């Protein structure tokens, strides 16, 4: 998908947030209906809810059955026409050469940003992804603490900082990397508002926090926002309802302090 020069990802997110009056990122992952209707149903949901969201996140739920080109790229193109930034939740987590190829394909398909796992480190890890993102005016969001129950087994383990020798939680190390690497966002699950608060104390408003897990996973959107989340990632509570536009509007209003 050919595109002209675009705003940096952070600026694009801020502009969309202000224009839409929303901090909700739609996780357009699980979509109801027959597999053969997956693309049309995804486009239909997007059309219905676009007024109440500020961005779209896509995971492998759509990429695997539809394919990246001549499939998911149509959803990305639709989001672009509606003024919505797009995020690919690919959780990049391999060696540098492979990571760059992964990111390049998603960027060529039109995605504005990718999510990556800082466990692989910088040199010969995520450095090529960050360099590519700068070349193509795209963004990189880092996983800092996920939203599921077993997050503590990886992101919550205590580790020794190789630079200082200090023992600290893994997620605080990742938050520090988000700052040092100039990431465009940090993912911290809404199911752990205490972790959001700790990470926000490190990131302040320099790196915005994206919080998944609102709704079906039990995350409280007000607690997430009050503890420092900038954007809320919401999926099944919108996509699996009979009236996704009403669900999106209700969640948007609650997140923004409305009725």
* From 91, 108, 177, 197, active-site residue: 91
* Burial class (CB within 10 angstroms; exposed 0-12, middle 13-18, buried 19+) of 160: exposed
CA distances from 13 to 34, 52, 72, 173 (A): 32, 14, 21, 25
Q: Can you read off the two tokens belonging to residue 253? A: 């209003």
Cα separation of 206 and 256, whole Å? 21
Specify whether 91 is catalytic.
yes
Helix (H, G, I), strand (E, B) or coil at 50: helix
Sign, Cα dihedral of 187, 189, 190, 192: negative
In the chain, beta strands by DSSP E: 24-27, 55-58, 86-92, 113-116, 139-145, 158-160, 167-169, 185-188, 209-212, 231-234
Q: Are 195 and 172 in contact (CB under 8 A)?
A: no
Are 41 and 33 in contact, with CB atoms under 8 Å apart?
yes
Q: Which residues are catalytic?
A: 91
């Amino acid at each position: 998908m050919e595109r002209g020069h675009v705003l940096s990802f952070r600026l694009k997110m801020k502009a969309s947030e202000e224009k839409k009056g929303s901090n909700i990122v739609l996780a357009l992952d699980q979509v109801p209906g027959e597999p053969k209707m997956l693309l049309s149903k995804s486009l239909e949901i997007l059309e219905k809810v676009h007024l109440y969201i500020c961005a779209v996140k896509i995971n492998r739920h759509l990429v695997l059955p539809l394919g990246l080109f001549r499939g998911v790229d149509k959803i990305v193109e639709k989001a672009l026409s509606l003024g919505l930034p797009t995020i690919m939740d690919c959780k990049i987590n391999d060696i540098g050469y492979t990571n760059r190829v992964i990111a390049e394909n998603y960027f060529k398909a039109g995605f504005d940003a990718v999510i990556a796992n800082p466990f692989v480190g910088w040199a010969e890890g995520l450095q090529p992804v960050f360099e590519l993102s700068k070349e193509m005016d795209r963004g990189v969001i880092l996983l800092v603490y996920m939203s599921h129950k077993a997050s503590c087994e990886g992101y919550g383990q205590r580790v020794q900082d190789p630079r200082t020798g200090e023992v600290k939680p893994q997620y605080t190390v990742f938050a520090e990397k988000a700052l040092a690497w100039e990431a465009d966002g940090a993912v911290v699950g809404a199911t752990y508002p205490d972790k959001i608060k700790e990470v926000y104390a490190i990131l302040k408003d320099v790196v915005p926090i994206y919080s998944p897990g609102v709704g079906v996973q039990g995350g409280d959107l007000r607690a997430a926002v009050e503890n420092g989340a900038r954007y809320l990632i919401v999926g099944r509570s919108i996509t699996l309802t009979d009236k996704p536009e009403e669900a999106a509007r209700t969640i948007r209003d609650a997140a923004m302090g409305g009725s």
